[in-house]
Structure 1
Amino acid sequence: MRYTISKVLGLALVLGVFGCSDFLDEQDPSNLQPESFYTTATHAESAIAAVYADARFVGDGAGIFSSNWQFLLAPTGTTTTETAQNSDLNNLYSLSFDDNTLHIRNWWRGVYKVIANANLVLENVPGIDMDEGQKNQILGEAKFLRAWAYFYAVRLWGDVPLITTPQSATSEDFFPSRAPQSEVYSLIVNDLLEAENAGLPWTDESGRVSQSAVKTLLAKVYLTMAGFPLNETARYADAASKAKEIIDNPGPLRLFDTYGEVHDETLNNMGEHIFSLQYNNLIGDNPMGNMFPNFQPVTYRGPSGTGSTIPQIDFYNSFDDGDLRKQNRDGWFYTSYYTNGSGELFELGKPYIFKHFNVIANGTEGVEGTAKDNLNVPIFRYAEVLLIYAEAANEVGGPTQDALDALTAIRDRAQLTTGDLGSFNQQTFREAVWTERWHELCFEMKLWFDMVRLRKVYNSTNGQFDDFIGHVNLNSDQALQEKHYLFPLPEQEIINSPNLTQNQGY
């Protein structure tokens, strides 16, 4: 079956979210329609649960030895592969991807499925007779998740179809055209401003959307709008202001004391974690296994792993030697581990990514792994809020003490020294923050978007920032081109939807 926007949006009601009690109703369950389904508070909760479930497309598979999340890591030049057995992933590493690349097709379909089910919630839940507070929170969550999905879409493909209501074959825009990026961003901002006033809790240890998550995404959207391609520089002040709201009243939000806590499953949705994709062994394990070394016994499974995402060695070397994030099993990397997860320590021969390694599931010194990887995938951490504020505040009027304090908090945890305010001007502070973004937020599907909005790329060999066009990715020795600002729309979408056009260069 071909999955076009229209089909995904028209068939988006996910029957798998219905509880067993639904099948006891008099109406034939096979004939369920939105009009008959959206009648109770339980239905509303099931519907928003479907949207959350859809968001986990990020962790789905993308062919042999590959996952969807690798889409946003491979083109950055910060990672490489040991196996090279997935042609689509290889094309992403080598910047030779096209409109048939599987990861691109999967992201298009995944993003628009989130949007489709969010639209169903926003269309149908308002008419349900239920507690108004509960209803408003569900609608706020749906607004956030729709904005989150569109934020990916507009950054990946630029002008994209803007669909805000459930679709059917008779819908006027069943074959949609591409809306200007400015209109897409307008919807994103409006959705988030409404979600801010939906009565959401400040944090939510169950993993649902919180007010701090809404504010974080809004700050990030403003920061992006201030850069390329919109260049709405006044948005820097908005980004700084929104991030400062979180910093000034963080509640339980904080930087973890250690990097190990960032990937400790017992701390899911707490402390530094503002919003994450939820994983539980009963439904699905953490999907970051393609970061395991190729066929080395670092887990309870023994010799296994694919090594299809490993650090590019020059990027690893770009971390200061004294940076705790570079230290073996203390930060983001490991160069040795325990045989079968809990046995004798052995050398791996090169650095691998430790940032998403779950020591509880996989084992640690003298402690066997549980084989149940319940670690979430972080989307927003408090560390990113600090860096958003530091960058945005500096762009408004140069470095300030508050901006320096935000940057220093990140560097203090890494055990790095930071100069005083007088040692920076606007440009040196700007690049100091950018460098921390590359080193703090690496391997979290963020750096590609920094490259596009800044039109700059971190050069791992000299610590400077190259222009985007002409920068050579060291994992492939290929240079970035102007066309790489955007990805191609999937070919099948162009074929099946006559009003869609392709991005330049593809």
Structure 2
Amino acid sequence: MKVFNHILKIRTKRFFLLFFSGVVLMPSCSDDLLDKVPITEIVADTAFNTEDDVIASLTAAYDALQWHNVGGNQTFPLMQQGVRADDLHSQSAAFWAIGAQYDQFSTITPTLASVASVWSKWYQGVARANFTIQLAEGFTNFETPELQDQIIAEAKFLRGFYYFELVRLFGGVPLFDTPITSANQEQFKPRSSQTEVYAFIEADLKNASETLPLKGGERIQGSATSGAAYALLAKVYLYQEKWSEAVNAAEQVINQGVYGLESSFSNNFIQTNEFGLESVFEINYVDGLSAGDFNDGSQSQEGSGMWKWSFPFLEGYNSFNNFIPRQELVDFFDDSDQRKAATFLLPGQSTNSPGLAAIGWDPVPNDFGYAIGVNTGARKYFLTFEEVQDLLTDFQSPLNEKVIRYADVLLIHAEASLMGGGGNGSNSFNQVVERAYGPGNPAAPSYSKQGVRDERRRELATEGWNRFTDLVRWEKADGGGVIQDALNAIGKSDFRMPRDLLLPIPQQEIDTYPEGMLEQNQGY
């Protein structure tokens, strides 16, 4: 299937380059350009002739998920979630400016280039999804039954996902529900409220969940399913404290019967088990299509830069250890918790690699030589020594990134149930806990509000999609104190309420809009 994705992605990129460059370069060099009527709109009628062309548009909408660099600035979700919170250090030495800026709140400002890049990343995804929806709705040459509805549903899932990232990070944002294909269209919209954005996301995900197939029947491996749409919808409800709706959406996933927990937690993060039993939605990567860098700024990312960016210095690994687990996070795990050895590379730990052992690096050193006094590496994006040798380019990893796992769904169900949403949340919670600790382990936490919160942190640590915004929603639910307590535990002292609950609206966006139309977040 990844070979097919190789071909499809190459075709998609060539298609879009030809299409959009054709819009700009359409006039012939031999014609008198002054006699030409200016081209003010993109017309899809002649550019998209087959259903494969529409699929190529949809594939381009998925591409934004892969981008770790936009406009020359890193956009790893781990920066906004793990580094900004209490899970990760940004670096082992003072050489990564962007990471250092996210590691403290005083340097996250409206003019920070990487904030603008995060905004741009998700809005480019929205724009591509909007284009696909409009294209598919008006396309009349479909040959495959029900393909039209499926494409629209997948694009709506993606649009809902991208807006969920935007509203969690920035608060209320401008809502664009149609593509801008003409200079005559409205180019600017004011910010919608968070409530309005969430309502828009809910509508997209409900439509997608009712249309998309079950896991196992998806269009291609890695494309959105009804389970993914219901799971994301459950999380959207969770963030709004719509407890009964979150329980119901989570139970839609549970009752599909196609998901389960891996018996070994570590199986979620190995190449030989991608799209496995526990996978609800993940970002599909392949290596070797773009060999220029490990976080390509040209939006042509096809392999993951996470392994180089986050893995410790080891012989045979040209890695950079920029996402380093904080000691407080490591110590938060009991030694009997099987997730500990799968989440962290600990001093003296074995990687079970014959290749590393042959050069004297397995087990790994007792001292990684970090400048920050921590001796732990992030392991969920780990590649074995043998896998590194087989890469087409060692700049990028083909290891997929998990966005939603079934364990996340169970913990959403457990939390929403505990908060009054109904359902048997204790059963969902106990499934996660027993997998981690084994049955009857006294180290396992109880089913309580704090127990669920603690397990979300342990279960999802270093994956990049939850920690900071989980703290924000718990801060609001408890009326204060949650974030400050977490940050005090690691010695961060520059957090300011309410400013730092959200990222700033990029100043360049405010300056581009008509004066006074795009309001800044409070405190910036």
Q: TM-score normalised to the size of structure 2? A: 0.79
The aligned residue for residue 109 of structure 2 is 98
Change (3 A) 1:103 1:29: closer
The aligned residue for residue 386 of structure 2 is 363
The aligned residue for residue 497 of structure 1 is 513
Q: CA shift at 1:418, angstroms?
A: 5.9
Match of 1:285 among 297, 303, 306: 303
Instruction: Give me the identity figure in percent.
Output: 25
Structure 2 residue 362 is matched with structure 1 residue 334: no
Bigger strand share: 1
Q: Distance in 1 between matches of 2:102 and 2:126?
A: 25
SS state of the match for residue 522, structure 2? coil
- Residues 198-228 of structure 1 show CA distances to partners (whole Å, capped at 9, x for unaligned) of 24333446100011101110111111111xx
Q: Distance in 1 between matches of 2:24 and 2:512?
A: 31
* 167-176 vs 373-382, which moves further: 167-176
The aligned residue for residue 299 of structure 2 is none
Asked if the contact 1:223–1:392 (Cα under 8 Å) also holds between the matched residues in 2, the reply is yes
Match of 2:80 among 71, 79, 83: 71
Match of 2:229 among 214, 218, 224: 214
Q: Output the amino acid matched with 1:141.
A: E
Structure 2 residue 415 is matched with structure 1 residue 391: yes
Change (3 A) 1:64 1:85: farther
Q: Distance in 2 between matches of 1:38 and 1:65?
A: 33
SS state of the match for residue 197, structure 1? helix
Q: CA shift at 1:443, angstroms?
A: 1.1
- Residues 335-372 of structure 1 show CA distances to partners (whole Å, capped at 9, x for unaligned) of 3356974533232422211111122xx338xxx74235
Q: Distance in 1 between matches of 2:252 and 2:320?
A: 42
Q: CA shift at 1:34, angstroms?
A: 2.2
Change (3 A) 1:457 1:318: farther
The aligned residue for residue 413 of structure 1 is 435
SS state of the match for residue 159, structure 1? coil
Asked if the contact 1:263–1:358 (Cα under 8 Å) also holds between the matched residues in 2, the reply is no
The aligned residue for residue 269 of structure 1 is 275
Q: Distance in 2 between matches of 1:39 and 1:18?
A: 17
Q: Distance in 2 between matches of 1:209 and 1:475?
A: 38
Instruction: Give the alignment's Cα RMSD to 1 decimal.
Output: 3.1
Aligned pairs for 1:445-456 within 5 A: 445-455=465-475
Match of 1:309 among 320, 323, 343: 323
Q: Distance in 1 between matches of 2:461 and 2:185?
A: 42
The aligned residue for residue 375 of structure 1 is 399
Aligned pairs for 1:134-173 within 5 A: 134-168=147-181, 170-173=183-186
Asked if the contact 2:325–2:377 (Cα under 8 Å) also holds between the matched residues in 1, the reply is yes
* 275-284 vs 199-208, which moves further: 199-208
Q: How many residues align?
A: 456
Q: Output the amino acid matched with 1:370.
A: D
Structure 2 residue 378 is matched with structure 1 residue 353: yes
Q: TM-score normalised to the size of structure 1? A: 0.82
Q: CA shift at 1:500, angstroms?
A: 0.9
Q: Distance in 2 between matches of 1:340 and 1:66?
A: 33
* 147-156 vs 190-199, which moves further: 190-199
Consecutive unaligned residues in structure 1, runs of 5 or more: 1-13, 227-234, 459-464
Q: Output the amino acid matched with 1:447.
A: R
Change (3 A) 1:473 1:456: farther
The aligned residue for residue 248 of structure 1 is 255
Asked if the contact 1:162–1:184 (Cα under 8 Å) also holds between the matched residues in 2, the reply is yes
Asked if the contact 1:319–1:326 (Cα under 8 Å) also holds between the matched residues in 2, the reply is yes
Q: CA shift at 1:172, angstroms?
A: 4.8
Q: Output the amino acid matched with 1:84.
A: A
Asked if the contact 1:121–1:142 (Cα under 8 Å) also holds between the matched residues in 2, the reply is yes
Q: Higher relative contact order by CA 8 Å / sep ≥ 6: 1 or 2?
A: 2
Q: CA shift at 1:182, angstroms?
A: 1.1
Structure 2 residue 53 is matched with structure 1 residue 43: yes
Q: Distance in 2 between matches of 1:495 and 1:113?
A: 19
- Residues 209-264 of structure 1 show CA distances to partners (whole Å, capped at 9, x for unaligned) of 011101110111111111xxxxxxxx10111111112222322x211111221111
- Residues 83-131 of structure 1 show CA distances to partners (whole Å, capped at 9, x for unaligned) of 2312221121112211122331111000000000111111121121213
The aligned residue for residue 492 of structure 2 is 477
